[in-house]
Structure 1
Amino acid sequence: MIPILMYHQIADMPPKGTPYRGLCVPAKKFAQQMQWLKRLGYRGLSMQDLLPYLEGKKSGKVFGITFDDGYANVHDNALPVLQALGFTATTYFVAGHPGGHNHWDIEKGIPHSGLMNEQQIQNWAKAGQEIGSHTLDHVHLTQLPENEARRQIEASKYGLEAVFGVPVTAFCYPYGDESAAIREMTRQAGYTNATLTVKGLALKEDDLFGLPRVTVSGNIGLVAFLMKCLTQKEHKRRVKKEKQP
């Protein structure tokens, strides 16, 4: 079982009562989480680097690190920590909006937050971190006509590859919104893996285009965080949910 951590923003949490405030993990807390996993002998890996472990070709004390959406605060606050520890991570970029903001969240009352611009994305890649895709516009893929869903999946990959000159093989379904048809489109586009918002540890028998993750909230304590990552607790929760009718 391999934990794949799901983060969004690495920034101070907004005031209490703010919708989805847990999507912000304070920088000091993120650093503490990474440092403790390193002390315990674990190595944080991007999805590209994690793939051989997910496929059973390698074994070791590893975990995946992913960031959804591509926030600028991930560049500023998470990248230095990753570099200091020798970890790699994947950021899933909303490919059509470098330098933009989280426009898809505004109607929910989530505060405005800037996305990495092209230079910051380039810095991310030059530092050995992985560029992944989160579609062009952060859309609900199953709610789109087939041609548009395919365009969102394919054009985001090809556009990122053309601009930044690196292979883009990791995909994340916005909102966790996917289906068998969407997974097949993702395979056909040339990705090697895709992650969900479903909670749980990844198993060797999992579809590489339907990988669960461990949600990391800004209000989680260190002990609870380590228990989610390194014990059977998260796996048991996943099994219980899968058994529900």
Structure 2
Amino acid sequence: MQHPRVSILMYHQVGEFRPMRKHRANYCDHRRFSAQMELVARFYQVIDLETALAGLYGQQPLPRRALVLTFDDAYENFAEHAWPVLERHRLPAIVYAISGYLGRRAEWFAKDPGRPIPRLLSGARLRELHAAGMMIGSHTVDHLRLAELSPKQQRKQLADSRAALEDLLGAPVVHLCYPFGSFNAVTLELAPECGYQSAVTCLRGAATPQDHPLALPRKAISFGDSLLGYVWKLSLKHAPKPELTTWRRP
């Protein structure tokens, strides 16, 4: 019997960019994104994260060809280029926001010389998107590598971000995304204590019931993905990379 699975897709920026060789998973051309969303709207079942979690862990059946759309960092260009396409096709998604960087520039891009440093959505704009139906998750306070922090520092990043976003949105924020995919066993203990029900990683593969709900794998969508390559990732590239098995259930 085949276990249920869902492809959780990882996007970052959506817009118009010059070709690049490095950090390609940080960029998606807006024209390719539009074509990708047209394809998934026709041939896949795009579901929200909570429906995916219920299907993975036995509360309800998962549809075939199930997808979840995730967007890390909450860039300004999401509102300009991604949200109108999602709205047109009525596709659910989740945006993971960095509570301490709302309306600021993504300073970590300074390490990618020659590229503009993008700005992140303001709190007011994030609130508007949430009111329009967008699910919002936490990407911590300061976008730091959690595995490099002390337990006390980790707890502050997790708890303070959730509190700030809930205060901004007036709604529960129970889903988390680890900056740079960085987490450890301490993080897995702290996240539920801080009120999180799920967390996504940068580990590659399709999510299955074997996966810890606080260490969910994703499939990175890259600047260089052709439509054929995109379909291959969605439909065939399910096997986890070796590092994922550490966090899988027996």
**1:59 counterpart residue number:** 62
On the 8 A contact 1:46/1:66 being kept in 2, the answer is no
Q: Which runs of 5+ in 1 are unaligned?
A: none
1:173-192 aligned at under 5 Å gives the runs 173-192=178-197
**1:84 counterpart residue number:** 88
Q: CA deviation at 1:43?
A: 2.8
Distance 1:79 1:111 in 2: 21
Secondary structure, in 3 states, of the residue corresponding to 1:25?
Answer: strand
1:25 aligns with 2:28: yes
Distance 1:115 1:243 in 2: 33
Percent identity over paired residues: 30
**1:157 counterpart residue number:** 162
**Residue 4 to residue 152, structure 1, CA distance change in 2 (3 Å):** same
Distance 2:124 2:86 in 1: 18
**2:100 counterpart residue number:** 96
Q: CA deviation at 1:16?
A: 3.4
On the 8 A contact 2:48/2:68 being kept in 1, the answer is yes
Q: CA deviation at 1:48?
A: 2.8
**Residue 100 to residue 51, structure 1, CA distance change in 2 (3 Å):** same
Distance 2:245 2:217 in 1: 16
Q: CA deviation at 1:196?
A: 0.6
Taking only aligned residues, the RMSD between alpha carbons, in angstroms, comes to 1.8
The one-letter code of the counterpart of 2:57 is E
On the 8 A contact 1:48/1:169 being kept in 2, the answer is no
Query: Deviations for 1:49-80, whole angstroms, at most 9, x for unmatched residues?
Result: 42212223222132110011110111111111
Distance 2:82 2:95 in 1: 11
Q: CA deviation at 1:14?
A: 2.8
1:43 aligns with 2:45: yes
Match of 2:218 among 213, 219, 227: 213
**2:7 counterpart residue number:** 3
Q: CA deviation at 1:22?
A: 4.1
On the 8 A contact 2:200/2:217 being kept in 1, the answer is yes
The one-letter code of the counterpart of 1:235 is H
The one-letter code of the counterpart of 2:150 is P
**Residue 188 to residue 242, structure 1, CA distance change in 2 (3 Å):** closer
Output the TM-score relative to the length of structure 2.
0.90
Number of residues paired by the alignment? 239
**Residue 145 to residue 165, structure 1, CA distance change in 2 (3 Å):** same
**1:147 counterpart residue number:** 152
The one-letter code of the counterpart of 2:87 is Q
The one-letter code of the counterpart of 2:81 is N
Output the TM-score relative to the length of structure 1.
0.91
Query: Deviations for 1:152-178, whole angstroms, at most 9, x for unmatched residues?
Result: 001100110011111101101111111
Q: Which runs of 5+ in 2 are unaligned?
A: none
Q: CA deviation at 1:108?
A: 3.6
